[in-house]
Every structure is written in structure tokens, then in C-alpha cells.
Structure 1
Amino acid sequence: MTSSASKFYTIFVFVCLALLLISICEVEAKVCQKRSKTWSGPCLNTGNCKRQCVDVENATFGACHRQGFGFACFCYKKC
């Protein structure tokens, strides 16, 4: 009985570690930054930029960043 319990425990620990490694690998997905295709004018409000990127361009996030002499809206998507 002790031998089978030991085998079960070993297999259980191995499966848990495998699942943990898989979840860690998925978290490290690359994110690509691209200038918004639908935003026009200077980007002065990151909240509006984020909303535009998420709602219109199906991105995961958006933010205003300096580009040249002004600010532009950039969208972030999984690569």
C-alpha cells in the first residue's frame, strides 16, 4: 500500500510541475507595439487611446507615446 501511495504522490507532483511550467511559458508571450491605424491627431489622453485600441483594433492595450515632436497612439497586440 505504501508503494502505490508513493507512486501516486510522485506522479501527482510531476503533473503539477508540468502544468506550472506550461502556464509560465504562456505568460511570456511576446507583445508587439504598432502605431494605431484608426487614431487621428495628437494623442493627449492615454485612456482614450487604450479604448480605441481595444474596442476598434482588437488590441490588448493602448497608450500615448512620444513620436517626433508630438504624441501618437500606439496599440499593443500579441505577436
Structure 2
Amino acid sequence: MASSSPKLYTIFLFLSLALLLLFFTREVAANLCQRKSTTWSGPCLDTGNCKNQCLTVEHATFGACHRDGFGFACFCYFNC
């Protein structure tokens, strides 16, 4: 029975770490607001260019191309 104690301890630590990471990532994701870029024109085909424009021109924390209707648009992410 003594050999099962380290296994239970390891499982407990793993589950605790997993829950901690889950709550941490939810909090981080909840603090970002998505908004369609106001300076991007045309369809968004390159996420790298979208990200660069969001960072430099709109002072966002991130940018990416996402589906918008029938095409793709550049969306910027800001801290809420």
C-alpha cells in the first residue's frame, strides 16, 4: 500500500497544475477584446501583415486574419 502513495501524490500534483493552467489561460483570454481593424483595406490574406499593422498602426497587442462573412478580414486584439 505504501507504493500507491507516491502515485496518488503525483496524480494530485498533475491535476492541480492542470487546473491552475486552465484558470490562468481563461483569465488571460477574457482580458482581450477583438475588433475589426479600422486601417486595413481589402481581404486579409496574410496574418503576419495583419499582425504587423495592428501592432504598429493601431497599437494593439495582436492581430490575425479571420473569416468575416464570405471573406477574411484583419482583426486586432486589445486589452479590455
TM range (shorter): 0.5 to 0.7
Give the match for residue 42 of structure 1: 43
Q: Which has the larger radius of gyration?
A: 1
Following TM superposition, by how much is the alpha carbon of 1:51 offset from its aligned partner in structure 2, in angstroms? 0.1
Task: Give the secondary structure class of the aligned counterpart of 1:72.
Answer: strand
**Structure 2 unaligned runs (5+)?**
1-23
Cα distance in 1 for residues equivalent to 2:71 and 2:61: 23
Partner letter of residue 40 of structure 1?
S
Cα distance in 2 for residues equivalent to 1:31 and 1:57: 15
Cα distance in 2 for residues equivalent to 1:77 and 1:67: 19
Q: Taking every aligned residue pair, what percent have the same amino acid on both sides?
A: 70
Following TM superposition, by how much is the alpha carbon of 1:43 offset from its aligned partner in structure 2, in angstroms? 0.1
Cα distance in 1 for residues equivalent to 2:58 and 2:74: 12
TM-score, reference length from structure 2:
0.64
Aligned residues: 54
**Structure 1 unaligned runs (5+)?**
1-23
